[in-house]
Structure 1
């Protein structure tokens, strides 16, 4: 796959990942953390705010693979 196409696909995947992840994390928080103390909210959003980086790193790593010609 040409590097430009891989980067386009990866960029679209990251945008979709961020949108879906934010929607799911917010929905879970609204459904489960309603009466929790403030520090539970803080811990949850710190954790979920960092967790999305892991799948994004995998997508970026895939995007940066060299093409079949050996160059980027």
Structure 2
């Protein structure tokens, strides 16, 4: 697959990932954390703000293509 096409597909995937993840994280927080103390909110948003990086790293690694030998 050409590098430009791989980059284009990866960019679209990352944008979709961020949108879906933001909506899911906000929905979960709204439904479950309504009456929780402030430190639970802090911990949740700290962790949920970092977790999306893992699938994004996989997409970026795929976009980079195979390693040169």
Smaller-chain TM-score bracket: over 0.9
Q: Say yes or no: does 1:39 pair with 2:39.
A: yes
Give 1:54's aligned residue: 54
Give 2:23's aligned residue: 23
TM-score (norm. length: structure 1): 0.91
Give the CA deviation at 1:58. 0.1
Cα-to-partner distance string for 1:30-67 (whole Å, 9 max, x where unaligned): 0000000000000000000000000000000000014x
Residue ranges of structure 1 left out of the alignment (5+ in a row): none
Residue ranges of structure 2 left out of the alignment (5+ in a row): none
Give the 4+ runs in structure 1 shifted more than 6 A: none
Q: What is the root-mean-square deviation of aligned Cα atoms in Å?
A: 1.4
Paired residue total? 68
Give the CA deviation at 1:27. 0.1
Aligned ranges 1:1-20 → 2 under 5 Å: 1-20=1-20
TM-score (norm. length: structure 2): 0.94
